[in-house]
Structure 1
Amino acid sequence: MKEFRAAVEAGDFEGLGELLAEDVVFRSPVAFKPYEGKPIVAAILRGVGRVFTEFRYVRELADADGGGSALVFETVVDGVSVNGIDLIRTNDAGLVSELTVMVRPLSGANALATAMSAQFDQIVAEASGASS
């Protein structure tokens, strides 16, 4: 999805919320249970924007039907290099309906888990409308 990629590359994590379907499902690389719904997923993406540094997409793969894509990225979290993939599916309206993120290596996943855990209270507050 070109709009999603452009927003992330511009560091516009606030604007990503406009690209999400109301019933979007986010599968985290460090949490077992998926997160469902635009408010929590938008808040998680804003949290990601606060912990990723030196972020860049390095490759894009698209489904033949145009309903999904895989964006391969590199970033740094707390000084640890992370490689990952954003798997994106869109609905008929062109909004993100599913976002699955996978990361490697284990040290990168651990750094991401720690950094996002520190963001959790703010994410929950933002998702419930009590933005900080």
Structure 2
Amino acid sequence: MNRSILPLLLVAGLAMPALTQTAAAVEGPPMLLHGNYCGPGNNGPAAPVDALDAACARHDACTPDGALAPKACNLRLQVDAARVADDPRQPVDLRMLAGLVASGAAMMPSAPAAKPLAAPASVDVESPPDSDLLPE
């Protein structure tokens, strides 16, 4: 496959399943892009094969079954994958793929944030007269 098309296909593979359905809803074998955890589905409880796969495993672990990942999970995957992409000790092909995963994580939809709890209605509490507070 032409190397110039590969990055586009990888980004599309990361983003499209998340846009159309959750990873838990994917039927059949997982559509992994790398290792045991990167891509829709996973091969859990298998161990991650490297640092990028470990980042994907953490993302899978914080994503509720049958639901979108919270924004914090997607952000952590983006940051962790970017660290792998920037690590000169990693192989070049892994660094390239990690950069694509980081970009894909930035585009992933996330679960809506929980609504903040409403502030309680103000309650008027009658203050005791000052004379009640003084010692006798």
TM norm structure 1: 0.29
| Structure number, greater radius of gyration | 2
Point out which structure has higher relative CO (alpha carbons under 8 A, 6+ apart): 1
TM norm structure 2: 0.28
Specify which structure has the higher proportion of strand: 1
Specify which structure has the higher proportion of helix: 2
